[in-house]
Amino acid sequence: MPIEDEGQNKINKLTEKLSTEGINSTTIKQIDTELQKLYCQLEESGQVSIKLIDWI
């Protein structure tokens, strides 16, 4: 599965979780972790070049 599809699937699942469980610190941490993983995968594949990301 291409990285984009995998990432989109994860984002869709997390969005669904947000809509059913609401926004809470656990859900936000999960989203942050998944987005960081996705950015790393994209950067490693050469599809994006990320110079600096400030994670809040």
Give residue-wise pLDDT tens across range 12-34.
888 888 888 888 888 888 888 88
Q: What is the DSSP letter of 47?
A: S
Q: What is the pTM of this model?
A: 0.57
Is residue 52 situated within a structural domain?
A: no
Please tell me the predicted confidence (pLDDT) of residue 17: 81
The two three-digit tokens of residue 2, written as one number: 């291409």
The length of the chain, given as a count of residues: 56
Classify residue 56: in a domain, yes or no: no
CA atoms within 13 A on the CB side of 12: 6
Please give the distance of CA 40 from its chain centroid, rounded to a whole number: 10
- The verdict on residue 30 lying in a domain is yes
Contacts of 21 (CB under 8 A, 6+ apart): 27
Instruction: Write out the residue range of the structural domain in which residue 8 sits.
Output: 3-44
Residue 51 maps to a domain: no
The count of structural domains within the chain is 1
- What is the chain's alpha carbon radius of gyration, rounded to the nearest angstrom? 12
* Structural domain includes residue 37: yes
